[in-house]
Each structure stands twice: as C-alpha cells, then as structure tokens.
Amino acid sequence: MEPTGMTRRDLLACAGATIALPSLVAEAAKETAHPEGAEEALARLKEGNRRFAQGNTVHAHQSADWRKHLVGGQKPFATILGCSDSRVPVELVFDQGFGDLFIARVAGNVITTDVVGSLEYAVAHLSTSLIVVLGHQGCGAVTAAVQALNGPTRELPGIKKLVDLIEPGIPEAQPGHTHEQRIDAAVEANVRFSLKQLAQQPDVNAIIAAKKVQLVGAVYELNTGNVRFLDD
Ligand SMILES: [Zn+2]
C-alpha cells in the first residue's frame, strides 16, 4: 500500500486491522480520497481556499502521526509556484497539510531555470497533474517592476535581476487607473506571463502533454483571503 496515496477507506480498513493509529484515521476523515487528475486537484484547492476564506479550516494532515506516515514517500496532488511574500503561506491559504502540495516560492513567482526544474520534478517524478501559478494582491516584486518602468530605481543587483524578469510581462498603464488598479492589473499580467513562459518551454510542454497536466493561473486577495482562479 502506498503510504501517501491512501484513501479514507484504506485507512479505515487499516484501522479495522489495527494497523493505523486512531489519529491517522481522524486525519484521513477530514479529507476525502486523494484527488485523481487535474480537475479533482483543482476542486480540492478551491474547496480548501473556500474553507480558509470563510474561517472554517479543518487543518487536515498536520499531526505528528501524519508527518511520520509520510517518511517513506510523498504524493502531493498539486504543484504551485507562488511568491515568497510572508502573507501568502500556500498550505494555509488552501487549508492543506504535510504531503499535499509541492511548492516553489520565489519573489514575484517568476520563471527561472531552477523553478522550471522544480516544476518538472513534481510532474515527472511525483506525477502531480496540476500546476498553479499563484500571484497575489500587493506583490512587492511586481510593484518594483512597475516602478522600474516608470523611471530609474536604486536596487541591489540581485533584486534588479529579479525585477528585470518581471518587467516584460507588465502591461501599459491604462488611462484613469489608480496606482492600486495598475498594480492589480500588473499582478494578473505577471501570472499570465509566467504561465506563458512555462508553456513555451519545450520540455515542460512535452511532459504536460504526455501526463495530461493542467496549467492554471490564480491571484490571492490579501483582504478577503480568496484565491481567484483566472479564466474561471
Ligand atoms: Zn509577491
């Protein structure tokens, strides 16, 4: 039996055979079976975020017993590229726990060689069927890119390189938009830009097609706690 692919029924069966610890059964009971395929994975993320935003989190898969149960392997159901921002802790935002999500976090959720490698690993070796690029309201990296487009800024070289990666995806300023609206539009455009770059990587594209992986964009709203999936 694959430890990380256990369904609730598996665990209940184990409990009947006095193998599983009672707390493991309780953990599993908080969630239904491991999502199969991109649609189920997406639905699981949406349900989790709804619970989080409404203050009804269940904190499944967060006990010490569940942690130990994962020592032998992992089978996360989704891969997420998020921002480093301290206000967007991905597992919390989706009400998930240990072993549920494979996450790469980098300021501005930009596409770099290392990020591509991490995402490829998740799809090729862990068989996650969903990749989400998750931007967020008020992103500092995106804001820095917008400011850099408005004129020279003084940043450390590493930050400058990061901002340079974001700039090409920032749209023109729209007449009448407030600064906040400008940043909101830039955040969403930056998510789409990362998705586009991912889709343009031949190796990523091939593995996405072969493994029937879905690539989706989303934006997390700091004020409501909602994750808005793009193209919904
Ligand atoms: Zn950010």
Calculate how far, in angstroms, residue 214's C-alpha sits from the geometric centre of ligand 1. 23
How far does residue 85's CA lie from ligand 1's centre (Å)?
Answer: 5
Query: If you count them, how many residues does the chain have?
Result: 232
Residue 226 C-alpha to ligand 1 middle, in angstroms? 16
The torsion region of residue 198 among left (phi > 0), alpha (psi -120 to 50) and beta comes to alpha
Distance in Å, CA 78 to ligand 1 centroid: 20
In three-state form (DSSP H/G/I as H, E/B as E, the rest C), the secondary structure along 24-65 is HHHHHHCCCCCCCHHHHHHHHHHHHHHHHHHCCCCCCCCCHH
pLDDT at 26 over 90: no
Q: Domains of the chain (ranges plus CATH)?
A: 35-229 (3.40.1050.10)
- What pLDDT does 196 receive? 96
Cα 24 to ligand 1 centroid, rounded to whole Å: 35
d(CA 159, CA 141): 9
Q: How far, in Å, is the centroid of ligand 1 from the Cα of 92?
A: 16
pLDDT in tens, 159-213: 999 999 999 999 999 999 999 999 999 999 999 999 999 999 988 889 888 888 9
The Å distance, Cα 95 to ligand 1 centre, comes to: 20
Supply the DSSP string of 154-195, one letter for each residue: ---HHHHHHHHHHGGGPPPPPTT--HHHHHHHHHHHHHHHHH
Share of the chain above pLDDT 90, in %: 77
User: Which two structure tokens, joined as six digits, stand for 130?
Assistant: 């969903």
Q: Which of 57, 8, 46 is nearest to 28 (CA)?
A: 8
More confident position, 4 or 144 = 144
pLDDT at 31: 59
pLDDT for 20 equals: 55
Sign of CA dihedral 214, 217, 221, 224: negative
pLDDT digits (tens, 9 = 90+) for 57-114: 999 999 999 999 999 999 999 999 999 999 999 999 999 999 999 999 999 999 999 9
Q: What spacing in Å lies between the alpha carbon of 25 and ligand 1's midpoint?
A: 37
Model confidence at 124: pLDDT above 80: yes
Which is it for the CA torsion 107, 217, 199, 116, positive or negative?
positive
Distance in Å, CA 135 to ligand 1 centroid: 7
Backbone angles phi, psi at 226, to 5 degrees: -80, 140
Q: How far is the CA of 184 from the centre of ligand 1 (A)?
A: 12
